[in-house]
A = this chain, B = another copy of it.
């Protein structure tokens, strides 16, 4: 194998990075085209499934393991009882300073015993620093009813820190704000909440507290980084020399001690890119499993009846009885084996 000179290797790396940047631009264009093609179908589907009780709770119940693993039995119970609508939207699709990779997850709920909110919307912005790019989000407040908080105070603590973060960002520079934040009592409270929580108890609703797999990145910082990156790649494409990139001086690992839902960006991405376009397939999978009685246990969820004695409603129940489609009716909708290719 021939050896290569370091400077040649470096130049080649710069060119590869520039080519990769072109691929990323194309990916964004594909997202725009896919959204335009999907839009009328999403509208039609929303109208149609509005008449199917529990459509979305059954879709979440049948979600791929990368999502399902994060939905606890108590979360399933909340969804089965009161999730009425669900929508993914690409809210920066036509924003020249935004990204088609940004999206929101919007959950609509009926009156329920858990929280006051009728709508919980979680926005994920695609942003960049000079060392990183990915999804960031702001903690969403959930107005839990008394003694009903499934996250044991984590969503509240994350929301408090999020509010402080906004205030500091308005008052001081980027780096100074982050230092102030790390010294705050809100920071310590959240870090402690997370440290004392047991892994097993993480509710899916903690996703509403997700901030970042790296650290919070503001719109301003991201736009500046994108501008710098664009100039850099234009130079490379013109064959001009560019300065070597600085090494990352931050340690983003520090941030993770206050991340309530590590991997929340990946879970949200699978919901937006797989579960949302393929929702009908997942809904239908509920009924496919009817064919094999042995698989029934996968579908059991906590008892969703309005039992007054809350301490004792731990009996598993077949969620399909909630949609008038129990095995007892003897009625099997046509099952079709399918595979996404």
Partner-B contacts on A (CB < 8 A): 1-4, 6, 9-10, 12-17, 19-20, 22-23, 26-27, 29-30, 33-34, 37-38, 41, 44-45, 48, 51-54, 101, 126, 131-135, 213-214, 244-245, 248, 265, 269, 277-278, 280-281, 283-284, 287, 322-325, 329, 331, 333-334, 336-339, 341
Contact yes or no, B133 A341, CB < 8 A = yes
With contacts A9-B333, A133-B338 known, is A29 near B37, CB below 8 A? yes
Shortest A169–chain B CB gap in Å is 23
The residue from B2, B29, B51, B322 contacting A1, defined by CB atoms under 8 A apart:
B322
- How many angstroms between the C-alpha atoms of A245 and B13 in the bound complex? 56
A19 cross-chain contacts in B, Cβ below 8 A: 41, 44-45, 48, 280
- How many angstroms between the C-alpha atoms of A309 and B54 in the bound complex? 65
- How many angstroms between the C-alpha atoms of A76 and B337 in the bound complex? 35
Contact yes or no, B30 A34, CB < 8 A = yes
With contacts A33-B30, A37-B30, A322-B1 known, is A16 near B48, CB below 8 A? yes
Contact yes or no, B15 A48, CB < 8 A = yes
With contacts A16-B284, A41-B19 known, is A269 near B132, CB below 8 A? no
A1 cross-chain contacts in B, Cβ below 8 A: 53-54, 322-324
Copies of this polypeptide in the complex = 2
A329 cross-chain contacts in B, Cβ below 8 A: 6
Contact yes or no, B265 A336, CB < 8 A = no
The residue from B33, B133, B325 contacting A4, defined by CB atoms under 8 A apart:
B325
Residue of B nearest to A305 (CB): B1
- How many angstroms between the C-alpha atoms of A16 and B280 in the bound complex? 7
With contacts A2-B53, A52-B12 known, is A213 near B339, CB below 8 A? yes
Residue of B nearest to A245 (CB): B334
Top 7 closest A-B pairs, CB basis? A6-B331, A4-B324, A134-B339, A3-B324, A13-B333, A20-B280, A245-B334
- How many angstroms between the C-alpha atoms of A38 and B126 in the bound complex? 22
- How many angstroms between the C-alpha atoms of A6 and B323 in the bound complex? 12
- How many angstroms between the C-alpha atoms of A4 and B33 in the bound complex? 38
- How many angstroms between the C-alpha atoms of A2 and B53 in the bound complex? 9
A53 cross-chain contacts in B, Cβ below 8 A: 1-2
Shortest A254–chain B CB gap in Å is 15
Shortest A297–chain B CB gap in Å is 21
Residue of B nearest to A268 (CB): B341
Contact yes or no, B341 A20, CB < 8 A = no
A283 cross-chain contacts in B, Cβ below 8 A: 16
Contact yes or no, A132 B280, CB < 8 A = no
Q: 16 other contacts beyond A22-B44, A33-B34, A133-B339, with CB at 8 A cut-off?
A: A2-B53, A3-B324, A4-B324, A6-B329, A9-B333, A12-B52, A16-B48, A16-B283, A19-B45, A23-B278, A26-B38, A33-B37, A132-B339, A134-B339, A134-B341, A265-B341
Contact yes or no, A244 B334, CB < 8 A = yes
Contact yes or no, B337 A131, CB < 8 A = yes
With contacts A30-B33, A336-B17, A341-B269 known, is A277 near B23, CB below 8 A? yes
Shortest A47–chain B CB gap in Å is 10
> Could you write out 10 A-B pairs with CB less than 8 Å apart?
A4-B324, A6-B329, A9-B324, A9-B333, A15-B48, A30-B30, A30-B37, A135-B341, A213-B339, A244-B334
